[in-house]
Structure 1
Amino acid sequence: MKTAPIVPARVDFSGAAAPHSPDFDDVYHAPSGAFTQARHVFLDGNGLPGRWAGRTRFVVLETGFGLGNNFLATWAAWRDDPRRCERLVFLSVEKHPLTRVDLARAHAASPEPGLARQLLDAWPTLTPNLHTLDFEAGRVRLMLAFGDARDWLPELVAQADAFYLDGFAPAKNPELWDETVLRQVGRLAAPDATAATWSVARSVRDGLTAAGFTVKKRPGFGGKWQIATAVFAPRHRVPVAPGRMPIAPDARTALIIGAGLAGAACARALSRAGLQCTVLEAGPSVAAQASGNPGGLFHGTLNADDGIHARFNRAAALATERELRRVAPALPWLQRGLLRVERESDALDAMRALQARCGLPDDYVQALSAEEASVLAGVALARAAWFFPGGGAVSPPALVQAWLDETAAMGTLDLRLNTPVSTLRRDKATSRWSALGPDGEVIASADAVVVCGGMTSAAVIADMTAGPAWPWVSQRGQLSWLSRDQSPPTLSMPVAGLGYALSLPDGGLCFGASADAGDMERALREADQAQNLARLRQLLPSASLPDHAPLAGRVGWRSLAPDRLPIVGAIPAEEPARRAEQARFWPRQPGLMVVSALASRGLTWATLCAELVTAQLTGAPWPVEASLAEAVDPARFGARAVRTQG
């Protein structure tokens, strides 16, 4: 998907009846009130709240978020309904979102001030991403796609039960009502979906009819004579590609292999979705492998073309920032803000030009001079640096434990240590999976499995994966640290570049790390210590650092893929007879998922990857656009091989 910088909405609040958009020369809602319009047109027009009664999940898709009143009115109706669905998902697209300041002004006199305050507190940075905001302990989820609906709707993977077709009048904003948009509404419709809109324009009604809806006019409100409602009843539906179908929508239990960052994040996400999780860890403790470092970094990236890597890393970093803000009270420490130093001494002008070209806001990333960066770092830096306000550092083991503790508190966790898994077996009669130990005995069984064991995942799923062998790489990393007694410099926030450094709460300094593929040496090495110290001196040239320090640190192994993206999703079962060059057409092993190859970005990637496999497993709306999900899809290696052969 081609992205574009987000241009915030301009809002004129001078009108007594309703805020006005100067750019579209239209009001944001009817003079009779936004909540009145939301209840009459969108809630009543879609048969809500009655239609969500008794449902596990109900999905609303809106084509114009605007001021957010439709969402707030729907949330309020859900909160007040004793027969409400277990989980409400509200997915909305907005090309020109409000700034936080304007959003606060828009809801200064909201009829639901408590809900409006929660929305304002969670309001995301204005980047072209799908932002997932959770409320009511995850039972209400708002998913905001910032950008053009014509770009976003084809990229969404969801089945919506109700559509709110909102936006400025078709005559003033025709792009939001054109045939291509309404055709996507039909593609995204669940069986028996409904739609409602205040517009009865002939083009809108014809577009909905062409998309498979049966349209009716109903009495309007507040001077509006009529509104339109519709029921999805198509003659034919285009089959969904196997890679975009729910993998195990009726699953109630899951096995998670591995208790590192990936496994703990999956346990939390799956538990929130209502699944009972059994976590099987081969070692004697959680976070024992690559997730065991005393501190680790998380942050986004950017590049001129905003390609796959930049978009995925940004989406993941934003998800991690939101999650760490939520879980922060359960963590012993959390450092906010991160500096990434450029390698060239004259890079500042090019950095500022790149940020301007990308159009990313300052609350996501800033290009700083060496002097500006030094003030934030608390030590003198020699070069310009990128500042990521939402980045930072945290203890990976503490985060893993916090996630597992939260899952245990929900009563949905069975954690088993010292439990290695050698292979998996599926019972076709029951569709359940079993994990087998080294002796061939069944350890545990469940409806679904998520393999999160790093490089050990390769052996567990080797016989179950169609296509070529995945190009796994095992990379040894040696981390070093200086103790408080060695008087290391104290950093106000982590600094990265060629290597990284962060101050630990005990006054020590953690830095490194080496990267050696295929190296299985477990002992600390003097050569790697010297390399880490040399990189630290380049990173912090003004700091007083020893020429040599006693060997102290930790060795771990990262699993990674050569394309520098994780491996996330349902495992391919066989090569398709047609269209095998596209990952989404590969049939999948029912209920078998993987989250692996998190490389050195486990903290940044784990949250989003866990949310993605949870959505793919259960049939919930995906938290990223389809093109990003396909970029990390396990079937990508087989699809790539087919394209190369062709």
Structure 2
Amino acid sequence: MTMTWHASATRSASTVADSRHVILDTAFGSGAQFLASLARRSAGHLHYLAIAPSVPGASVLAALAAAAPGLAAQWPLDVPGLHRLHAPAERLTLDLLIGPAEAWLPEIVARIDEFIIAEPLGQVRALQRLAAPASTLRMRQPDEQALRCLRAAGFTVTGEPEAGWQHAAYTSRKPQPPCAPTPERRAVVIGAGVAGSAACERLAARGWQVTLIERHDAPAQEASGNRAGIFMPLLSKDDNIPTRLTRAAYLYAQRAWQNLGGLDPDAPGAEAGEGAIRGNRCGVLQLARDAEHALLQKEVVDTWRYPEQYVRWLDAQQASAMLGAPTPYGAWHFPEGGWATPASACRAMLQACGDKLQRIFHTEALHIERSGSEWNVLDAQGKLLATAPVVVLANGAGATALEPARELPLYTMRGQVTHLQEGSFPSLNLVVCREAYMTPPVDGIICVGATYDKSAARQLWQSSQDENLLRAEEILGNPHGAGAPLQGRVGFRTMAPDRLPLVGPLPDNANQARTERLRDLPRHPGLYALLGYASRGLIWAPLAAEILACQLEDEPLPIEATLAAALDPGRFLLKQRRKL
């Protein structure tokens, strides 16, 4: 069969080279259909969504290594969820959706140009929601019931089967709007921490011109300014939304860092020039709090049967050996977790933007206003800083100083990290955490922290240092660092009441329309949020920026619909409106 390329009327691609052809394969199997699609592809970007019960193994990877080496180098661990793999040089994106097709179909957020249905599918009519105008479909050996469902869903069965495959074409029954003019790919991003830097990188990678406004003289001066940020998954027995989100973000961030050059513990510090991301996948040891927690840790690992490369459970003896100090309980060991310097991650992401990025630093955006189809961004004196059809608020708690975001339920928590000189405190070769975390030495400094304080005080507190050292003593079993000089850093985490970030279009609180669904909630046109990253901004930022870029480009989302809804900035307003 010759592949026919169709472009959705809603896509913002302006040239054939920019067009994106989206395929959904409901039974990836050996990857034969994917490899065949690669072989017959024409110009444009191929985006392939593949559903599989588990991450395909070595045989598929070997075949893929020859056909798409950029993807093979990023092959994910076999854990549940959606794994997005980018191969920009090959103009290729592969989404691996791990789990049953019947469970995934309601969770996919995409417009599909071509369906490949290789196994019997009960929810044939669910394809109608995903089908782009003039999409095509191939189904292997359909029975009469499947053909009737196809016709009911708007597909026209064409011709006779070829080699067991039945072809069909989709005709939408809804009137299609006229093709809108291609929007300008221009955006203003406010805030140059990990949230804003990731947004710049993801938009620039798609050809957007981005203006970045930052009130400090350099990126990563607020919550992203810590010497070492920790990256690790979150586990739970029920695999809840925070667990699923953090798993997706943790794995996506590591692939994103790999595409930017990887982590290097000897890379230049934040104050140096451009360079690789400073960090180390040295592993993270998360100690159990008590015997009950140790039992829960073991149950979680036994229940989900994660690969050991993702997490291992250690008993007390094994955990003590790894820690180098006695510990009475067990621990989770995340072999590929570790630490990274957020400022160096920001620097690498901004460097990747090249000439697509304009920086306006040492200038604070204090007012935004809509003028026609564009947003004007102004400083405190009313001076116009930038204009664009799209504005992305990535400035943490500072966003609530801007009128459209004033009612977002964001708050801050003070966090003090203690800095201890190497030699005055045990030097670990991995990150250790329980109620506090401790890092290996970074430039001769060991980081211990961080506190959670309801305060806006920026100065260092001796009481916070004492709290950090007490927690370290509880982990190591002996007091260390007593009498150390008061040294460290204070940062402020921006958080939402449900501890999840805000990712997506900003709701219009002034519009009093009552609604029961997120999709019907009034929004500010062209205004988006990347906010509320709490203490996980280092790993949340790359995935959140990819979600945002996909929303702007009408591309398939890199997460399931349930997670996207849980991150929607309108979720709080919707809850209020439902009470009216």
294, 302, 316: which is aligned to 1:348?
Answer: 294
For 1:210, give the aligned amino acid: A
1:418 aligns with 2:351: no
Correspondence for 2:508: 573
8 Å CA contact 1:250–1:618 kept in 2: the answer is no
SS at match of 2:73: helix
Deviation at 1:568, TM superposition (A): 1.2
8 Å CA contact 2:325–2:477 kept in 1: the answer is no
For 1:386, give the aligned amino acid: W
Correspondence for 1:539: 475
Correspondence for 1:497: 434
Q: Aligned partners of 1:322, 1:623: CA distance in 2, in Å?
A: 13
Correspondence for 1:194: 136
8 Å CA contact 2:192–2:220 kept in 1: the answer is yes
Deviation at 1:370, TM superposition (A): 2.8
Deviation at 1:356, TM superposition (A): 2.1
Q: Aligned partners of 1:341, 1:256: CA distance in 2, in Å?
A: 39
Correspondence for 2:272: none
Deviation at 1:73, TM superposition (A): 2.8
Q: Deviations over 1:171-228 (max 9, x none)?
A: xxxxxx22x2x212111011111112332432332222111111112462xxx3x532
Correspondence for 1:13: none
1:292 aligns with 2:225: yes
**Structure 1 pair 502–213 and aligned structure 2 pair: CA distance change class (3 A):** same
Q: Which moved more, 1:247-256 or 1:303-312?
A: 247-256
Q: Aligned partners of 1:531, 1:166: CA distance in 2, in Å?
A: 59
SS at match of 2:110: coil
**Structure 1 pair 582–48 and aligned structure 2 pair: CA distance change class (3 A):** closer
For 2:19, give the aligned amino acid: T
8 Å CA contact 1:450–1:595 kept in 2: the answer is yes
**Structure 1 pair 368–293 and aligned structure 2 pair: CA distance change class (3 A):** same
For 2:332, give the aligned amino acid: W
**Structure 1 pair 386–397 and aligned structure 2 pair: CA distance change class (3 A):** same
For 1:302, give the aligned amino acid: L
Correspondence for 2:386: 444
1:595 aligns with 2:530: yes
Correspondence for 2:4: 47
Q: Aligned partners of 1:275, 1:146: CA distance in 2, in Å?
A: 31
8 Å CA contact 1:200–1:217 kept in 2: the answer is no
14, 23, 34: which is aligned to 1:60?
Answer: 23
SS at match of 1:336: coil
**Structure 1 pair 471–414 and aligned structure 2 pair: CA distance change class (3 A):** same
8 Å CA contact 1:490–1:507 kept in 2: the answer is no
Correspondence for 1:165: 117
Paired residue total: 559
Q: Aligned partners of 1:578, 1:210: CA distance in 2, in Å?
A: 34
Deviation at 1:587, TM superposition (A): 2.5
Q: Aligned partners of 1:142, 1:479: CA distance in 2, in Å?
A: 39
SS at match of 2:470: helix
Q: Normalized against structure 1, the TM-score is what?
A: 0.81
Q: Aligned partners of 1:400, 1:377: CA distance in 2, in Å?
A: 31
1:326 aligns with 2:259: yes
**Structure 1 pair 446–578 and aligned structure 2 pair: CA distance change class (3 A):** closer
- Note the residue ranges of structure 2 that are not aligned, 5 or more in a row: 9-14, 264-275
Q: Aligned partners of 1:620, 1:512: CA distance in 2, in Å?
A: 39
**Structure 1 pair 237–577 and aligned structure 2 pair: CA distance change class (3 A):** farther
**Structure 1 pair 597–624 and aligned structure 2 pair: CA distance change class (3 A):** same
8 Å CA contact 1:248–1:618 kept in 2: the answer is no
Q: Aligned partners of 2:400, 2:415: CA distance in 1, in Å?
A: 20
Correspondence for 2:167: 229
Deviation at 1:525, TM superposition (A): 1.1
Q: Percent identity?
A: 34
SS at match of 1:386: strand
**Structure 1 pair 576–422 and aligned structure 2 pair: CA distance change class (3 A):** closer
**Structure 1 pair 383–509 and aligned structure 2 pair: CA distance change class (3 A):** farther
**Structure 1 pair 237–595 and aligned structure 2 pair: CA distance change class (3 A):** same
Q: Deviations over 1:399-424 (max 9, x none)?
A: 1111111112xx21111111210111
1:387 aligns with 2:350: no
For 1:157, give the aligned amino acid: V
8 Å CA contact 2:521–2:570 kept in 1: the answer is yes
For 2:312, give the aligned amino acid: Q
For 1:422, give the aligned amino acid: L
300, 309, 315: which is aligned to 2:248?
Answer: 315
**Structure 1 pair 130–238 and aligned structure 2 pair: CA distance change class (3 A):** farther
**Structure 1 pair 520–642 and aligned structure 2 pair: CA distance change class (3 A):** same
Q: Aligned partners of 1:445, 1:277: CA distance in 2, in Å?
A: 10
**Structure 1 pair 249–566 and aligned structure 2 pair: CA distance change class (3 A):** farther
Q: Deviations over 1:29-83 (max 9, x none)?
A: xxxxxxxxxxx4xxx2x425999955522211111111122223323444xx4xx
8 Å CA contact 2:502–2:567 kept in 1: the answer is yes
Q: Aligned partners of 2:512, 2:358: CA distance in 1, in Å?
A: 40
Q: Aligned partners of 1:582, 1:138: CA distance in 2, in Å?
A: 39
Q: Normalized against structure 2, the TM-score is what?
A: 0.90
Q: Aligned partners of 1:373, 1:227: CA distance in 2, in Å?
A: 55
Q: Aligned partners of 2:175, 2:288: CA distance in 1, in Å?
A: 51
8 Å CA contact 1:392–1:494 kept in 2: the answer is yes
SS at match of 1:122: coil
Q: Aligned partners of 2:144, 2:49: CA distance in 1, in Å?
A: 26
1:151 aligns with 2:92: no
Deviation at 1:576, TM superposition (A): 7.8
Q: Aligned partners of 1:623, 1:576: CA distance in 2, in Å?
A: 30
Cα RMSD over matched residues?
A: 2.6
Q: Deviations over 1:471-513 (max 9, x none)?
A: 21111111111112x4321211111110111013323211111
8 Å CA contact 1:251–1:448 kept in 2: the answer is no
Q: Aligned partners of 2:460, 2:128: CA distance in 1, in Å?
A: 59
Q: Aligned partners of 1:323, 1:282: CA distance in 2, in Å?
A: 26
Correspondence for 2:60: 103
SS at match of 1:390: coil
297, 302, 308: which is aligned to 1:362?
Answer: 308
Deviation at 1:249, TM superposition (A): 7.5
Q: Aligned partners of 2:238, 2:208: CA distance in 1, in Å?
A: 39
Deviation at 1:348, TM superposition (A): 3.3
**Structure 1 pair 121–531 and aligned structure 2 pair: CA distance change class (3 A):** same
Correspondence for 2:484: 549
For 1:256, give the aligned amino acid: V
Deviation at 1:137, TM superposition (A): 4.0
Q: Deviations over 1:72-111 (max 9, x none)?
A: 3323444xx4xx11x321112122443x33434xx4xx4x
8 Å CA contact 2:55–2:79 kept in 1: the answer is no
Q: Aligned partners of 2:111, 2:420: CA distance in 1, in Å?
A: 53
Q: Which moved more, 1:545-554 or 1:89-98?
A: 89-98
SS at match of 2:337: strand
Correspondence for 1:639: 574
Q: Aligned partners of 1:389, 1:496: CA distance in 2, in Å?
A: 14
Correspondence for 2:414: 476
Q: Aligned partners of 1:611, 1:145: CA distance in 2, in Å?
A: 17
SS at match of 1:627: helix
- Note the residue ranges of structure 1 that are not aligned, 5 or more in a row: 1-39, 171-176, 240-246
Q: Aligned partners of 1:628, 1:400: CA distance in 2, in Å?
A: 25
8 Å CA contact 1:576–1:585 kept in 2: the answer is no
373, 395, 412: which is aligned to 2:319?
Answer: 373
SS at match of 1:516: coil
8 Å CA contact 1:424–1:433 kept in 2: the answer is yes
186, 196, 207: which is aligned to 2:149?
Answer: 207
